[in-house]
């Protein structure tokens, strides 16, 4: 397993050189941008996207608010589980980083001493992207797009083979979708309980506390904050 893709004559390595070769033809400042984006920036962007989606779900409300928030909570949890699952996979495959077996790569990040297959960054971003897609299609497509860009960055930076990235995408997707029914069964009732709470219900949907009774139920004829905002705009 350690010799996987060690030859420079296979498509995996050829694609690695093609994508990483772009770094040699770009200004140094762009390489620094790609280094930050690929190492930290896209992970931060994914977290912000999840928070943005939560805010949108909360403002919109609706019957599915609790289940949507449950799916959003599952997205980062799935990413964490994917990283844990990857620990034994990396130990079993024992694939060295590409710059250890191949000369001439432009490596933008130094100090990578762990194994290469599969990419944690690809697994994390795709798990969160797919989790977002389960919660909200539009935000999910944006999240999956960020994950694809993360995969490109990892190869561009010279720290992963393309198949490391593909493996990360597969791992993140599999963990998110296969465990999603269990996560939904556990998290959705919890989010519905939070939604009924007079104090914590705002985490699930935007609303006026005075519009709900002591059990967290909406009083007849009451308006949520979103309804009030729409009424003010109409006026």
Kindly state whether residue 30 falls inside one of the protein's structural domains.
yes
**DSSP state at residue 158:** T
Tokens of 27: 């200004």
Place of tokens 């990040």: 109
Residue 9 confidence (pLDDT): 64
Tokens of 190: 């919890």
Kindly state whether residue 210 falls inside one of the protein's structural domains.
no
The domain of 130 spans 14-107+114-204
CB 108, CB 31: distance < 8 Å: yes
pTM of the model: 0.80
User: What's the number of domains the chain is made of?
Assistant: 1
Residue 86 confidence (pLDDT): 96
pLDDT by residue for the chain (235 residues), tens only, comes to 444 444 446 888 999 999 988 888 888 888 889 889 998 999 999 999 999 999 988 888 777 888 889 999 999 999 999 999 999 999 999 899 998 888 888 888 887 888 999 999 999 999 999 999 998 999 999 999 999 999 999 999 999 999 999 999 999 999 999 999 999 999 999 998 888 888 888 888 776 433 444 444 444 444 444 444 444 334 3
Q: What is the CATH number of the domain that holds 98?
A: 1.20.144.10
Sign of CA dihedral 149, 157, 122, 64: negative
Kindly state whether residue 225 falls inside one of the protein's structural domains.
no
Kindly state whether residue 5 falls inside one of the protein's structural domains.
no
Tokens of 112: 């990578």
Kindly state whether residue 230 falls inside one of the protein's structural domains.
no
Give the C-alpha separation, 106 to 181, whole Å. 43
Residue 49 confidence (pLDDT): 95
Choose among 50, 34, 57: nearest CA to 226.
Answer: 57
Kindly state whether residue 231 falls inside one of the protein's structural domains.
no
Kindly state whether residue 1 falls inside one of the protein's structural domains.
no
Kindly state whether residue 228 falls inside one of the protein's structural domains.
no
């Amino acid at each position: 397993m350690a010799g996987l893709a060690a030859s420079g004559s296979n498509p995996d390595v050829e694609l690695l050189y093609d994508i990483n070769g772009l770094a040699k033809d770009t200004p140094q400042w762009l390489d620094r941008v790609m280094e930050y984006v690929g190492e930290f920036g896209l992970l931060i962007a994914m977290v912000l996207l999840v928070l943005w989606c939560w805010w949108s779900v909360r403002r919109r409300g609706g019957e599915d608010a609790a289940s949507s928030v449950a799916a959003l909570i599952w997205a980062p949890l799935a990413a964490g589980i994917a990283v844990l699952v990857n620990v034994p996979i990396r130990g079993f495959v024992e694939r060295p980083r590409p710059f250890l077996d191949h000369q001439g790569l432009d490596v933008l990040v130094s100090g990578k001493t762990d194994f290469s297959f599969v990419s944690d960054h690809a697994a994390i971003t795709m798990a969160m992207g797919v989790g977002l897609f389960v919660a909200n299609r539009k935000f999910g497509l944006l999240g999956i797009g960020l994950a694809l860009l993360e995969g490109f960055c990892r190869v561009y930076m010279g720290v992963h083979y393309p198949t490391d990235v593909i493996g990360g995408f597969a791992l993140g997707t599999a963990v998110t979708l296969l465990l999603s029914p269990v996560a939904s069964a556990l998290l959705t009732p919890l989010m519905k309980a939070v939604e009924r709470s007079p104090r914590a219900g705002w985490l699930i949907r935007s609303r006026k506390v005075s519009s709900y009774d002591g059990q967290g139920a909406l009083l007849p004829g009451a308006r949520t904050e979103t309804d009030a905002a729409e009424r003010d705009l109409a006026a």
